[in-house]
Amino acid sequence: MATDLEAPVEGPRPGADEAEVELLGVTRTFGPVTALDGVTLRAARHEVVAVVGASGSGKSTLLELVCGLQAPDAGSVRAARAVLMPQRDQLLPWLDALGNAALPLRLQGVGKAQARERAHALLREVGLAGFERAKVYELSGGMRQRVAFARTLLAGAPVLCLDEPFGALDAITRAELHGWLTEVLAREPRTVLLVTHDVEEAAVLADRVVVLSPRPGRVVAEIAVETPRPRPATADEVVAVRARALEALAAAGGEAGGAREAGGEPG
């Protein structure tokens, strides 16, 4: 699932932008449906890029392209080793929470005791202390999401593709995990592509917010966020970025999370 396509190092390249993810003019079609149309998007090393867009605008498709799970019909995709936290968690029902979170470490050959110890610590950090031995069916949607999130982090990839990672969480848990993710990224920086329906979440967490049009997904706006993290949702720039992203979504003919189709609505 993870391919290492990092550019070979040929001595220092002054001025190189160190893009760890680069999509150039990417188009992806499924039969008659064009999901993405000419999308160019870059993420520099350790940059957090949020992608927002209406339902069906190709966000999940974009992440799968970056992770090498799909190939573009036109254009090119280049990325360092990337791991996907899918929109629908793919936890293994026969393992408990701890076993699911520890899985990537076990697959990397880490011993069982050490893998479980690290997973245990991470599950505690995401607020799941006491649920380590719970089976997947005993966990709520938000708990499953946090187990999947821990599992994604433990995969240790330089690029994280997170597909609505906090969508099933209540507002308080979500805000807690925003703070916690910010700490984790300060401690061990990663390049992150964060797909979300929540423009406020995008403005709180990302260095740059990329807005897609409704299907077919095209980049209609890119908004930089300069305020250093952690940033409160009430910070002036967060409020302004949120408003600009919503404007761009509306101008593109979509509604945040809305189901309106891209139609031939002229002017």
Ligand X SMILES: Nc1ncnc2c1ncn2[C@@H]1O[C@H](COP(=O)(O)OP(=O)(O)OP(=O)(O)O)[C@@H](O)[C@H]1O
Rounded to the nearest angstrom, the gap between the alpha carbon of residue 97 and the centroid of all alpha carbons in its chain is: 21
- The DSSP bridge pattern shows strands 191-195 and 48-52 to be parallel
In terms of CB distance, is 53 or 104 closer to ligand X?
Answer: 53
Structure tokens at 236: 């002036």
Closer by beta carbon to ligand X, 28 or else 231: 28
Dihedral (Cα; 259, 221, 228, 240), 10-degree rounding: -70
What is the β-pairing status of strands 159-163 and 82-85?
parallel
| Residue 208 three-state SS | strand
Picked from Mg ion, ligand X, none, the partner binding residue 215 (CB below 5 to 8 A depending on kind) is: ligand X
CB closest to Mg ion, residue no:
60
Strands laid side by side in the 191-195 sheet: 82-85, 159-163, 191-195, 48-52, 208-212, 219-224
Supply the minimum distance, in Å, between the C-beta of residue 259 and Mg ion: 13
Contact residues for ligand X, defined by CB under 6 A: 30, 33, 35, 53, 55-61, 87, 215
- Of 62 and 91, the one with the shorter C-beta distance to ligand X is 62
Q: Cis peptide leading into 216, omega within 30 of 0?
A: yes
Quick one: what does residue 56 bind among Mg ion, ligand X, none, with the CB cut-off 5 to 8 Å set by partner type?
A: ligand X
Question: CB–CB of 253/246 below 8 Å?
Answer: no
Write out the residues near Mg ion by the rule CB under 5 A: 59-60, 87
What percentage of the chain's residues is helix, strand, coil (to nearest 5)? 35, 25, 45
Residue whose CB is less far from Mg ion, 202 or 238: 202
Residue 101 Cβ, how far from ligand X at the closest point, in Å? 24
Whole-angstrom Cα distance, residue 169 to residue 158?
A: 25
Cβ partners under 8 Å of residue 30, min gap 6: none
Identify the three-state secondary structure at position 23: strand
Closest approach, Cβ 163 to Mg ion, in A, equals 6
Minimum distance from residue 117 beta carbon to Mg ion (Å): 34
Residue 84 or 123 having the CB closest to ligand X? 84
Choose among Mg ion, ligand X, none what residue 57 binds, the Cβ cut-off being 5 to 8 Å by kind.
Answer: ligand X
Q: Which does 227 bind (CB under 5 to 8 A by kind): Mg ion, ligand X, none?
A: none
Return the number of the residue (42 or 215) whose C-beta is nearest ligand X. Answer: 215
Task: Give the nearest distance from C-beta 184 to Mg ion in angstroms.
Answer: 23
CB of 55 to ligand X, least distance (A): 3
